[in-house]
Structure 1
Amino acid sequence: MMFVVRRLLLTIPILLLVSIMTFSLIHLIPGDPARVILGQEATPEAYEALRKELGLDKPIVLQYLSWLGNVLQGNLGTSITDNVPVSDLILQRLPATVELTIGTFLVAILIAIPAGILAAVRRGTWVDYTSTFAALGGMSIPSFWLAMMLIIYFAVENQWLPSSGYVPFSEDPVRNLMAMILPCVAAGLRESAVLMRMLRSSLLDVVNMDFIRTAKAKGLNEVRTILGHALRNALVPVVTASGLMVAGLLGGLVITESIFSIPGFGRLIVESVFKRDYVTVQGAILVAAIMVVIVNLVVDILYAVIDPRIKAGKGASE
């Protein structure tokens, strides 16, 4: 319990630093942010009105405190181009990205864990070579090319799955799942290759340790030795990679979302940048950073579950 409390307390200064960096985003724009947003042809009245709306007429410290107070109340500002609350835009787009992230992660795990275990247990055999070759191919193939190949084969030629589009799960669960299969597979295959190679390497290190030889000497069969003892100890670096992967996917699925026409969180950020809607960009980046911090917190807690030595302060991460 104290381990979790310490990690929660540690997130407070991290979130404060994230808020400062996010707030500074709009002030890092070369020139006056209001002038950049409106353009050089804007009237002085419109220019002054936007500066007042963004709070740019106040001292920088007061601007930050005012913005932080609004954020703590759930107010991320109002979109300049859409004239709707930024929080509403994020809530509209975030579920699709979260669903795509979860689906991608499940595809990656379902492929990586069995393949990684088989490659480590059958080291030096055709199983190991095939898994390693497939992993190298998965990391080398661009995700956008793989996505287009999947669309051509499964949607265009055979019409088994829809080529694009998104239907919320609450409206039609079947159509939602059918539409998410191709994007999840396209993104998940590459991620599975990374996790598989990491699990293989970690498992090969663990199976040569003394406690594994002791377990075998006691008469445990290979399956129980690997799954009951070796795998748990080999999962720590895999959990680290998985946390980084999930954090990256939450804001980095822009290409996949664009190819499959999914109105996701990543596309919202890119569209807002092109529209110079810096208030939306500011709010979206803050939410993305908070999600990354939460994912890292979950990873830290999983460390303690997998390896009790970490909870006791004896792990390498302490």
Structure 2
Amino acid sequence: MAAIARILARRIALLVPLLLGVILFVFLVMRFSDADPASAFFQGANPTPEQLHEFREENGLLDPLPVRYMAFVGDLLQGDMGTSALRRTPVFDEISTALPLTLQLTFMGLAIALVLGTVLGVTAAIYRDRMPDQVIRVVSLVGVAAPGFWLALLMIQYLSVGAGWFDSGGYVNPNDSFSGWLKSMTLPAFSLSLPIAAQLTRIVRTAVVEELDKDYVRTAIGSGLPPVVVVGRNVLRNALINPLTVLGLRVGYLLGGAVVTEQIFALPGMGTLMIDAVKNGDPAVVQGAVLTAAVGFLVINLVIDILYLLVNPRLRSAA
């Protein structure tokens, strides 16, 4: 555990310059974009040039970029992401309302992708070059090629409108009705996770096949250990390194895909918040949403790094 703690401390230390770099990138992109906080604040009010200048001066928009960046970082350290120009509410409050739904959708999709990808990949590897393997490979190939939004529309057409099994849109809070929440989140989570599950299936199959061909597996089975025990205890543990790498990289896809998925299923999450802010010209909300998504991606990759260490003791020794 001491080795894991030291490695974890180094990973967290590396996050600090990464976070500062992400904050700088988001800051510069928003400052050089066409979005104008002053125009957004007075939207629909026909302000005079003097009013616009006064607003920019009061909010530090005329200061040099280094000064504005330091002020921006200082505000972030205090939990201040600015104020929505349209709703006149703190951006932090709006993100706090929308983020839980996006996290629910992302982690539900991640869990579905992990379970489907692992089960189908291991099954295909065990029955390689036989009928189950051939079927799974064809299905995974279709899943990789099919766009997520197209799968979402098909699910709405056949499972919601046609069969009536699930809701076609909207969100139900789990505190109000868990079954209603499950019905409202199942289709979005599946449409988001199926392309990832298909990719994971192919990678898990390849990794498990490589492990099954190694000498230690034949020796263990030859010594009388049941194949199920060998696969579950040794093969999977060694084979999960590459799939975990892919899963960590695809978390960004899940967060990005949530934007489209939330629009299709009318879910009031971060994606909907960001799209509405872009359409309505609310730069503070766009900036806060993008920054939150970027920080979330870095944190999730830190969690994936920790899982590497837990799955493979050799990585701990090497580190």
User: Same fold by TM-score, threshold 0.5 exceeded?
Assistant: yes
Tell me: CA distance 1:50–1:196, structure 2 relative to 1, closer, same or farther (3 Å). farther
Cα displacement (A) at 1:309: 1.8
Q: Which consecutive unaligned segments of at least 5 residues does structure 1 have?
A: none
Residue of structure 1 in register with 2:74 after alignment: 69
Residue of structure 2 in register with 1:173 after alignment: 178
Calculate percent identity across the aligned residue pairs.
35
| Counterpart secondary structure, 1:312 | helix
Tell me: CA distance 1:146–1:34, structure 2 relative to 1, closer, same or farther (3 Å). closer
Residue of structure 2 in register with 1:242 after alignment: 247
Cα displacement (A) at 1:261: 0.7
**Pair 1:147 & 2:152 matched:** yes
Alignment of 1:151-300 (within 5 A): 151-300=156-305
Cα displacement (A) at 1:110: 2.1
Distance 1:243 1:205 in 2: 21
Cα displacement (A) at 1:54: 4.3
Residue of structure 1 in register with 2:24 after alignment: 20
CA contact (8 A) 1:243 1:296 kept: yes
Cα displacement (A) at 1:35: 7.0
Q: Write the deviation string for residues 219-260 of structure 1: whole angstroms up to 9, x where unpaired.
A: 222211111111111101111111222233124312211111
Equivalent of residue 80 in structure 1, options 78, 81, 85: 85
Matched letter for residue 22 of structure 2: V
Q: Write the deviation string for residues 48-70 of structure 1: whole angstroms up to 9, x where unpaired.
A: 13423542121211111111111
Residue of structure 2 in register with 1:136 after alignment: 141
Normalising by the residue count of structure 1, what TM-score does the alignment of the two structures yield?
Answer: 0.92
CA contact (8 A) 1:246 1:295 kept: yes
Equivalent of residue 94 in structure 2, options 81, 89, 92: 89
Tell me: CA distance 1:165–1:234, structure 2 relative to 1, closer, same or farther (3 Å). same
| Counterpart secondary structure, 1:114 | helix
Cα displacement (A) at 1:193: 0.3
Distance 2:68 2:282 in 1: 18
Distance 2:58 2:88 in 1: 12
Cα displacement (A) at 1:36: 6.8
CA RMSD in angstroms, aligned pairs only = 1.9
CA contact (8 A) 2:263 2:271 kept: no
Distance 1:118 1:34 in 2: 55
Equivalent of residue 126 in structure 1, options 120, 127, 131: 131
Cα displacement (A) at 1:100: 0.7
Distance 2:162 2:27 in 1: 48
Q: Write the deviation string for residues 250-290 of structure 1: whole angstroms up to 9, x where unpaired.
A: 24312211111111111211221122211111111111111
Comparing 140-149 with 293-302, greater Cα deviation is found at 140-149
Distance 2:195 2:310 in 1: 27
Distance 2:316 2:60 in 1: 45
Cα displacement (A) at 1:42: 4.7
CA contact (8 A) 1:247 1:291 kept: no
Distance 1:270 1:228 in 2: 46
Distance 2:309 2:175 in 1: 35
Distance 1:131 1:212 in 2: 24
| Counterpart secondary structure, 2:62 | coil
Matched letter for residue 187 of structure 1: L
Q: Write the deviation string for residues 120-163 of structure 1: whole angstroms up to 9, x where unpaired.
A: 11110011110000001111222222212211222222222211
CA contact (8 A) 2:37 2:284 kept: no
The size of the alignment, in residue pairs, is 313
CA contact (8 A) 2:39 2:52 kept: no
Cα displacement (A) at 1:188: 1.8
Q: Write the deviation string for residues 150-178 of structure 1: whole angstroms up to 9, x where unpaired.
A: 11222222222211110122222221111
Equivalent of residue 4 in structure 1, options 5, 8, 14: 8
Tell me: CA distance 1:20–1:213, structure 2 relative to 1, closer, same or farther (3 Å). same
Matched letter for residue 103 of structure 2: V
CA contact (8 A) 1:94 1:264 kept: yes
Normalising by the residue count of structure 2, what TM-score does the alignment of the two structures yield?
Answer: 0.92
| Counterpart secondary structure, 2:228 | helix
| Counterpart secondary structure, 1:187 | helix
